[in-house]
Amino acid sequence: MDSVAGIAITSFLVGLSGAMMPGPVLTVTIGEAAARLRVETGSGGPDTPKDREATRHSRAVRRAQARGALAGPLVVLGHGILEVLLVMGVVLGLGKLLVLGPVKGVIGLVGGVALVWMGMGMLRSLKALTLSGRDAGAGRRQHPVLAGILTSLSNPYWVMWWATIGLGYIAVSMQFGFLGLLSFYVGHILSDLAWYSSISVALAMGHRLITDRVYRGMVAVCACFLLGFGFYFGYDGVKNLVA
């Protein structure tokens, strides 16, 4: 993380680790994608030629698939709006404090411990992880953008992430000024967009493009990244405290 590109890449990997864990945002993404897959063709009547009716049905299916595929990006839009406001608030109120050695040291230690704890938790939960939408809900109750905002606020994991790891990344990225902060946010939000969009697209296609086995493998890899970054944050925190 000694460059703007390094910040973007590592923030993407750490953000992906958080996005892939089951939680309210994943649940609502699955539910919204499923709810948007309703095919509305109407009745063509008894005299409608079969080929015309088949064409109408095919177009309706494609429209439904497009609606389902958009669920993930729309949920992430709401999620991202909330996060950019949070980042702006942190920078405007705490930016000068975050570059101080003792503050960076404490944040690094706390963030490192949180990362290691989350990584170990991910490894312990591998056997039970599934992309099943059985608990995703039966219908749409709000717009996906609003759902992204509300489910983020209701997720204690999200609050803890920004209170520890997020602050650590902001502190590191601000060494490169606005460009560093922008690279952190872009890398982070792209991880959410990549994961939740892949989920909604997979559901919209009508078959499982991502199996539970592949999902667990990806989570295991990300858990190892979390452990590595956790030790890095801890080491950097100690270094700042003793400097």
Q: Considering the entire predicted model, what is its pTM?
A: 0.69
DSSP 3-state percent helix, strand, coil across the chain (nearest 5): 80, 0, 20
Q: Which of 20-24, 110-114, 173-177 has the lowest mean pLDDT?
A: 20-24
Compute the mean pLDDT over every residue in the chain, rounded to the nearest whole number: 76
Cβ neighbours for 50, distance < 8 A, ≥ 6 positions apart: none
Q: Is the pLDDT of residue 132 over 70?
A: no
Q: How many CB atoms within 10 Å of residue 181? A: 23
Q: Give the residue from 162, 196, 2 showing the smallest Cα distance to 84.
A: 162
The residues spanned by each domain of the chain are 4-26+70-198+211-242
Q: Is the pLDDT of residue 137 over 50?
A: no
Q: Is the pLDDT of residue 49 over 90?
A: no
Cα separation, 120 vs 162, whole angstroms = 19
- Predicted local distance difference test score (pLDDT) of residue 187: 93
Q: Which of 20-29, 35-44, 84-93, 155-164 holds the top average pLDDT?
A: 84-93
Mean pLDDT over 170-186 rounds to: 89
User: What amino acid occupies position 16?
Assistant: L
Between 51 and 14, name the one with better pLDDT: 14
Mean pLDDT over 32-37 rounds to: 66
Q: Is the pLDDT of residue 197 over 70?
A: yes
- Predicted local distance difference test score (pLDDT) of residue 38: 55
90 pLDDT tier (thresholds 50, 70, 90): confident
